[in-house]
A and B are shown apart, each in its own frame.
Chain A
Amino acid sequence: MTGKFIAKNFALLIIAGSVFAVLAWSVWSLPQSTGLTFTVQAQMERSGVTNPVTAVLLNFRAYDTLLEVGVLLLALLAVWAFAPIDDNYDEAVTPPATAQKALTAFLVPVLLVVAAYLLWVGASKPGGAFQAGALLSGAAVLLALTGVPYQATGIGLRLLLSIGLLMFISVGLAMFPSAFLQYPGDWAGVLILVIETAAMISIGVTLALLFYGRVPDSQLSVPPKQDHYTDTDKLQSDARDIS
């Protein structure tokens, strides 16, 4: 234990302690408040669902959820921007054991059914698109770890990834000239389910691809070459890392 080590950690302790003290002081005298519970409760009938959290997420504050689905897609694009290129989406590092294969064979259908259940029950109990999507991606990861290769080709995959955001925006624009993200008439419950289904698919696929962490070469199509240079020497010098 060198002196520098002790000094640095002592300083950190002091800093951490004082920050914590300030934070503790701030919560000590918070007023007892019911927050927005009653405000939400008053509007529950018009929300189309009976679970208050789902109502907040997909009706009252649906805009936040829309952006959040966008953030999830953005995360995948971000990973694809620098991840290693790998066309062989196979996660089985060692051949899977029999027990693993049996367990996967049992679990994957169960996961699919539970995911569908969570999606459906989200209207009245805790559940919904994100939870269901997470289970779907878990099933995909299990399959991958057991050596089921993943076909990640072409526009089909990209559609699956985008369907959540696209459906959300489309439904949001349903009443567009007069309102955005307002559900027409009594359709709130149905439309919420539609959005959640599309979102579940997108979330599941996105999380599964985030787990792989690599990008298939087929997803990085290079645009056709544009002839911007009149100097052929420059084209050769492009081989150097200049940007």
Chain B
Amino acid sequence: MLAAEYILVLLIVLPLTAAVVAFLWPRYAAPVALVSAAAMLLLSANLALLITATEPIRYNLGGWQAPLGIALYADGLAVLMVSMTAIVGIAVAAYARAYFQPGDSATGSRVALFWPLWLLLTAGLNALFLSIDAFNIYVTLELVGLSAVALVAIAQKPEALRAAMRYLLVSLLGSLAYMLGVALLYAQYATLDLEMLHLSMNATPATWTALVLMSSGLMLKAALFPLHFWLPPAHSSAPAPVSALLSALVVKAAFYLVLRLWLHVFEEIVTVNAAQLMGMLGAGAILWGSLQALRAERFKLLVAYSTVAQIGYLFLAIPLAQTEGASLAAASAAVYLALSHAFAKAAMFTTAGTVLHVAGHDRIRDMAGISQSYPLTAFTMGLAGMALIGLPPSGGFMGKWLMLNAAFVSGQWWWVVVLLVGSLLAAAYVFRVISHAFTHLEQIPYQIKLDWKLEWPGLLLALLAALLSILALPLFDALNISTVLSGTPLTESKP
């Protein structure tokens, strides 16, 4: 067992180095990537075990204390996010290995670049989740954003390229707004360390503006309604493994930062009205995203709009956390929903990719016969759908139940209505897809045998999402994500 600090560093350095290795030797890019994915899975599991035994870990890089240097930080929330990245990562990597065939007309020639790009994305995500320095987070946001754009564009199709262009411009604008906010914070408090900022926080104009700027930038990157316009084209035209990564992980990174900022760093100055506004936008996302998902003709477009809706649920945690008694429930709910959605959405996108592979299209109306020829894929669709709707014992159920709990305790009963309507709409669009996929045809149209790597990663992810309530309860208690609300040590903690 390694000490926790080493794991923090390795979680970032390993994918970075592996990316360079995969770039230098494209022949071995895929094996290198898969080995790294397995290593990161082990590392994050190791980290989870260590964090349950001790307090949150803070590690000053280069030996320089804040505010001079940059620190890495891991509490329960960060560890859960890193684990989420590792689990989704290895599943999607296995799927991508089988999905990208050299003979493909589209990504064909650029397949070799998928692996370094994916590894850089993972390095950026881990660096983001483990960072506690405001400007360092900006650099990690760029790392994540550029690799995400490249992965969308790797499909070479005109609509993917246009979607990637829009995504890039949106991402850059968001990053700039975020950086301006950081500049204002530095001018006001002369530090970039999030914990020091939290301790020195005062309600000044610059602080307020910084919060608005940083949140706007992050809302753009998280595709929160009404700034979601870039997501459906990008996630629906990207190759299926890329869509899985983007919906499951990249948008969560932005939300994770919003959660940290609103629930901890800016806690003193966040007003009830501002939090309610965030919740309203979340409600808008749920309703708008679900309605558009109902109208979608293509499977991948439906799943992409479902992401818009599910992101809205996450933002409901912000107003719910403002009340004392409900804040832990709200934060836990957000984390449950984030995890469950990551697994379920990644699984759903892998099934969409499989449908595309076997049928040549992903029109929902013509998806009959899938369950006959590919029962595993259809089962995955069902399980993932179950988690998205929020049926027990899925993680979605646990998250929504906790959120209802928080809503009642804090007296904000209007969110209950939003949650119920959202779940009904989710059920509607999920059943729409399921009913078509499970329609039996007299003549089986699909003859292709699928590589197991095209079906099992999605199935395992969907199982994880569908059973998350059972599996995660003890883990959640142990990881004690209440530290996201209470604070972090400023000095290095010795194990």
Contact = CB atoms under 8 A, between A and B. Distances in A.
Given A162-B24, A166-B20, A70 B68 contact: no
B187 A27 contact: yes
A233 B445 CA distance: 13
Contact of A71 (B112, B146, B205, B206): B146
Interface residues of A, number: 74
A70 B143 contact: yes
A173 interface: yes
A77 B146 CA distance: 10
B153 to A, nearest CB: 4
Given A61-B69, A238-B105, A242-B356, A75 B62 contact: no
Contacts of A28: 205
Interface stretch (A78-86, A87-95, A117-125, A142-150): A78-86
Contact of B68 (A22, A43, A74, A222): A43
B139 A68 contact: yes
Interface residues of B, number: 84
Contact of A60 (B64, B191, B360, B448): B64
Interface in A115-144: none
Contacts of A31: 188
Interface stretch (B116-124, B290-298, B336-344, B392-400): B116-124
A64 B190 contact: no
Given A223-B112, A243-B239, A35 B186 contact: yes
Interface stretch (B154-162, B270-278, B307-315, B373-381): B154-162
Interface string A57-74: 001111110011011011
A64 B70 CA distance: 8
Interface stretch (A104-112, A206-214, A224-232): A224-232
A114 interface: no
A180 interface: yes
A82 B154 contact: yes
Nearest to B189: A33
From DSSP, what is the main secondary structure of chain B's interface residues? helix
Interface stretch (B44-52, B95-103, B252-260): B95-103
Given A60-B64, A70-B143, A242-B356, A27 B108 contact: no
Nearest to B105: A241
A221 B26 contact: yes
Given A26-B206, A30-B188, A78-B150, A238 B101 contact: yes
Nearest to A29: B205
Q: Which of the listed residues B13, B108, B360 has the most CB atoms from chain A within 10 Å of its own CB?
A: B13
B413 to A, nearest CB: 33
Given A26-B209, A162-B20, 20 more contacts: A22-B212, A25-B209, A26-B205, A28-B205, A30-B184, A36-B67, A39-B67, A43-B64, A60-B68, A67-B136, A70-B16, A165-B16, A165-B20, A172-B13, A177-B6, A181-B62, A220-B26, A226-B101, A242-B106, A243-B353
Interface of B: 6, 9, 13, 16-17, 20, 23-27, 29-30, 59, 61-64, 67-70, 98-99, 101-113, 116-117, 120, 123-124, 127, 135-136, 139-140, 142-143, 146-147, 149-151, 153-157, 161, 164, 184, 186-188, 190-191, 204-206, 208-210, 212, 239-240, 353, 356-357, 360, 447-449, 451
Interface of A: 22-23, 25-31, 33-36, 39-40, 43, 59-64, 67-68, 70-71, 73-75, 77-78, 80-82, 85, 155, 158-159, 161-162, 165-166, 169, 172-173, 176-177, 179-183, 217, 220-226, 228-231, 233-235, 237-243
